[in-house]
Homo-oligomer: A and B are copies of this chain.
Amino acid sequence: MKLGFIGVGVMGRGIVRNLMRGGHELILYNRSENAEVKQLLAEGARRADSPRSVAQQADVVFTMVGFPKDVEEVYCGPEGVFAGAAPGLVAVDLTTSSPALAKKLAELGEKQGVSVLDAPVSGGDIGAREARLSVMVGGKEAIFEKLQPLFRLMGQTVVLQGGPGAGQYAKMVNQIVIASNMLGVVEALTYAKAAGLDQMRVFSSIANGAAGSAALSNLGPRMLKGDFAPGFYVKHFIKDMGIALSSAAELGLQLPGLALAHRLYEQLAANGCENDGTQALYKLYLSNQVTL
């Protein structure tokens, strides 16, 4: 199939490669010319000069951009996907974005015969590269079934969560768990240090028991090594938590753990750490700057 891919960063590169390995022809668009695009062009992908042009050429278009406003621009802008889409096109937004926007895009698409699915992923750049993403899909079941073979090229855990927006809701569930898990890891390691313990020794006592988590196992050791390089950016996590909080408010929910994590990460970003990895929250606690 002819597949379009709009927004080719580190995650996108891994996904695009896996789609090409599946025998598909790839047409790329990225706002800037970056290293990832150059590599993929050298590996056989083609390039288009707008999302509109991608939509004109492809059977299925994937999008993976930054913020909900970028998603909206990529779909609804004058050079956007909808401007170039013919009836029958399927578009899949892989961006972690707002459930409300996902519903809106599905409705707008339907008016011109375009099926839009929301399908945010979890698993990071390594998951993308190794085709081990968890893909959380919202949209019509028939379209989901048609796209299953493509999703399977990206990850092993591919689940239709419900109608339009359900993929985004599911991804928010994922991020809500992680938000509080990060607090747990950071507070625990801060306490261990203050108590005069050997933090790695405590880690060895607790990592595989009732306190165990992916956050603790993957990010705890990085915190202790002072490695704050981004796997997942602070700024993107703040975006996700903001979306989760807004949608929770729309649903009439109070989620104080999430709200607390969001506030602390905003403090961290205000300290100039927005381009660090999420494990950098440990720095805020170490600096004893946690104020509430």
A interface, CB within 8 angstroms of B: 99, 122-124, 127, 134, 136, 157, 159, 161-162, 166, 169-170, 172-181, 183-185, 187-192, 194-198, 201-202, 204-206, 208-216, 218, 232, 244, 247-248, 251-258, 260-261, 264, 288, 290-292
Are A159 and B204 interface neighbours, CB within 8 A?
yes
On whether A170 and B184 interact (CB within 8 A), knowing A211-B177, A292-B256, the answer reads: no
Decide yes or no: A208 and B161 within 8 Å by CB, A177-B216, A190-B253, A257-B187 being known contacts.
Answer: no
A252 proximity list for chain B (CB < 8 A): 194, 288
CA distance A215 to B232 in the complex (A): 23
Contact of A187 among B180, B205, B214 (CB under 8 A): B180
B201 near A209: Cβ-Cβ < 8 Å: no
Known: A174-B206, A187-B258. Is A169-B195 also a contact (CB below 8 A)?
yes
Q: Quick one: given A181-B180, A213-B177, A255-B191, are A202 and B123 in contact (CB under 8 Å)?
A: no
Known contacts A173-B188, A196-B162, A205-B134, A181 near B254 by CB under 8 Å:
no
Pick from B181, B187, B256, B288: contact of A211, CB below 8 A.
Answer: B181
Q: Please list the 9 inter-chain residue pairs (A to B) with the smallest Cβ-Cβ separation, ordered nearest first.
A: A180-B184, A183-B257, A213-B213, A177-B211, A169-B195, A194-B251, A176-B188, A177-B184, A180-B183
Q: If the complex has contacts A187-B257, A205-B157, A292-B254, are A210 and B172 also in contact, measured as CB distance less than 8 A?
A: no
Distance between A131 CB and nearest chain B CB, rounded to angstroms = 14
Set of chain B residues within 8 Å of A174, measured between Cβ atoms: 188, 205-206, 209-211
B residues in contact with A180, CB < 8 Å: 180-181, 183-184, 187, 257
| With known contacts A210-B174, A211-B174, A161–B253 Cβ distance under 8 A | no
Contacting pair B191 A176 (CB below 8 A): yes
Q: Are B197 and A170 in contact (CB under 8 A)?
A: yes
B210 with A214: CB separation less than 8 A: yes
Q: Which residues of B contact A288 (CB under 8 A)?
A: 252-254
> Chain B contacts of A216 at CB under 8 A?
177, 213
Least distance between A113 CB and chain B CB atoms (Å)? 26
